[in-house]
Structure 1
Amino acid sequence: MKKILVVDDNQEILELIELVLGLEGYRVSGLMDASHFNQRITEFKPDLILLDVMLGALDGRDLCNRLKADQLTLHIPVIMISASHNLNDTEGSICHPNDFIAKPFDISNLINKVSAQLAA
């Protein structure tokens, strides 16, 4: 069973994604902030990470950059989720996720993008 880590500070969106992907047969773990991000990756060993851009005081793009710069995590596909529709709108926070989903998102689009990344 493929494992997906979802990081979003909006509890309703987090719960929706967990429910939808759980019904699709994925094992899903959710985080509302990034305070235990590295620990959860080490323990859960996700096959894919869905990562919100704006995480309160933290920027998801910075977390994405750290994942892609680390030999232990660079292989994990990252799909960024954002209502801003622009991943590069903050100077110095440019990241290169494997895919992007704009909020509000279509459930079937979410499922298609997740399955495409896990099939790659």
Structure 2
Amino acid sequence: MSKKILAVDDDNDILDVIRIILEEEGYEVFTLANGKHVFDMVKENAPDLILLDVMLGGLDGRDICRALKEDQNYKNIPVVMISASHNLNNLLLMPGAPDNFLAKPFDIDHLLAMVKAQLAA
């Protein structure tokens, strides 16, 4: 059975690229263009990994990540934050921190390696 990945980004082009890359690797991919429905999507689809943009058109992905990590039902789902801001390594130190961080623009091989590492953990 293929692993499920939820990608959340307010840029549909980035979502399309992530979906195509990961589906070619055999993953089942769900996408969301805003952060409002993350919990509904997680509840419905039980993803094995969440790729979450930091800036989500009025919402902050860091707040969504913290809420997921503080929820007993979802705290064990790995979350990788994605952002064009390269100085977010301190993100990994905050309470409710993501499991890893990926800077945009990202290298396809780096994305795939990070996804595989998170799913293997």
Question: Where does the alignment leave 5 or more consecutive residues of structure 2 unmatched?
Answer: none
Q: CA deviation at 1:36?
A: 1.4
Distance 2:38 2:15 in 1: 15
Q: Which residue does the alignment assign to 1:47?
A: 48
2:104 matched residue in structure 1: 103
Distance between the aligned counterparts of 1:46 and 1:79, measured in 2? 13
Contiguous gaps of at least 5 residues in structure 1 = none
Q: Please tell me whether the aligned partners of residues 79 and 101 of structure 1 are also in contact (alpha carbons under 8 angstroms).
A: yes
State the alpha-carbon separation in 2 of the partners of residues 89 and 99 from structure 1: 11
Cα deviations by residue, 1:72-111 (Å, 9 ceiling, x for unpaired): 0000000000001233789xx8651111100000000000
Alignment RMSD: 1.7
**1:15-30 → structure 2 map (5 Å cutoff):** 15-30=16-31
Summarize the Cα distance change of 1:28–1:85 in structure 2 as closer, same or farther, 3 Å threshold.
same
TM-score (norm 1): 0.93
State the distance in 2 between where 1:66 and 1:111 align.
26
TM-score (norm. length: structure 2):
0.92
State the identity as a percent.
56
